[in-house]
Amino acid sequence: MSSAISARLPVFPWDRLEPYKATAAAHPDGIVDLSVGTPVDPVPDAIQRALVDAANSPGYPLTYGTGALREAAAGYLREWHGVSGADPAHVLPLIGSKELVGLLPTLLGLGAGDQVGYPQLAYPTYEIGALVANAEPVTYDDPVAELDPARVRLLWLNSPSNPTGRVLGAAELRRIVEWARQHGILVVADECYIELGWEGTEPVSVLHPDVCGGSHEGVLAVHSLSKRSNFAGYRGAFLAGDPAVVAELLAVRKHTGMIVPAPVQAAMVAALGDREHAVRQKALYAARRGVLRDALVGAGFRVEHSEASLYLWCTRGEACWDTVGDLAKHGVLVAPGEFYGPTGASFVRVALTATDERVASAAARLTAA
């Protein structure tokens, strides 16, 4: 019997990329897969050791997370992002950030008649989360000017943006938060790329006092360890912010068994407490970004935004699938901008998540094309 939920969902976008992946894989020098932002570098040794040391964990872990984990997350927000009001009591671990994006409207009890707002160009799972809850997904360029405050219950922000790398400044974030508070709309900021600002760009958290005025009422931030710590295979993230919303989500997650495994919690503590590995990883991405950007521009692409995050958002003024097909013939796989919204139809997203050798190979192919 078919599922009523699955019938509401679109085709999984990356399934449409499979024929192009096969073409790219047939290249004599192999595929350079720049289509998905999955880490390729090793998990830092300290994180691996923490996971192994906690392997003998026969009992059920806490949905709320250990005290050490919540303190590590709050300390990270204070020290890295200037969140002076970060409180361990208002932190909640997640089984990776995607599960929250996909399930938050459901966990909050949203449904028919409710709207979930998200950017016009965005990670597809914001839409999926609304559809799973039977709520209505609505996109915006400027939420204050375009959304109906009487219907929107949940507003997603994503700065730095996936796919564009666009960064919203503190003043713009503050304007949105103030409007949302006036209308009782919960603001949730997906900040998984917040450490990856380039060329002097410093992204700011929605929980920073310059944005929220020192109060976290009506505001949540979601942070992922996947990019900064090569943690994607471990599935570890956390949210923080409004105490009442955190408490509500904790209660629901307790009932549904949404618990981060104990060894992963221990590994998260190690990752959040170690600055050096994150700085090294960012330097690797910066070098790869420079190589790919120069090659793309030299090959006739125009790069827009991309001042932060793990991607280059670029176009050469043609349909995105034509670009995808042409690059696949050279063994380079990229993501079509259409995956992220109709206004991306002439763009492609190029991920920085490939080894130095594969990035160099892609650059050489672009130069020769």
Q: Any idea where the domains of the chain sit in the sequence?
A: 4-42+276-368, 47-274
Confidence of residue 3 (pLDDT cuts 50, 70, 90): low
Record: fold of 47-274: Aspartate Aminotransferase; domain 2 (3.40.640)
| Helical pair 18-25 and 320-329, crossing angle rounded to 10 deg | 30
Q: Look at the chain and count its residues.
A: 369
For the domain made up of 4-42+276-368, the CATH class stated in words is: alpha beta
d(CA 70, CA 268): 10
* Phi–psi pair at 86, nearest 5 degrees: -65, 125
Give yes or no for residue 75 having a pLDDT over 90.
yes
What does the alpha-carbon distance between residue 44 and residue 274 come to, in Å, rounded to a whole number?
A: 10
Residues 319 and 249: their CA atoms lie apart, in Å, by 42
CA atoms within 13 A on the CB side of 55: 6
Average pLDDT over residues 247-256: 97
**Predicted pLDDT of residue 2:** 47
Percent of the chain with pLDDT over 90: 95
Supply the pLDDT for residue 12. Answer: 82
User: For residue 302, what is the DSSP state?
Assistant: E
From CA 128, how far away is CA 258, in angstroms rounded? 19
pTM score: 0.96
Domain 4-42+276-368 matches domain 47-274 at the CATH topology level: no
* pLDDT tens readout for residues 309-340: 999 999 999 999 999 999 999 999 999 999 99
- Tell me: pLDDT of 7 over 90: no
Residue of 82, 102, 66 whose CA lies nearest to 212: 82
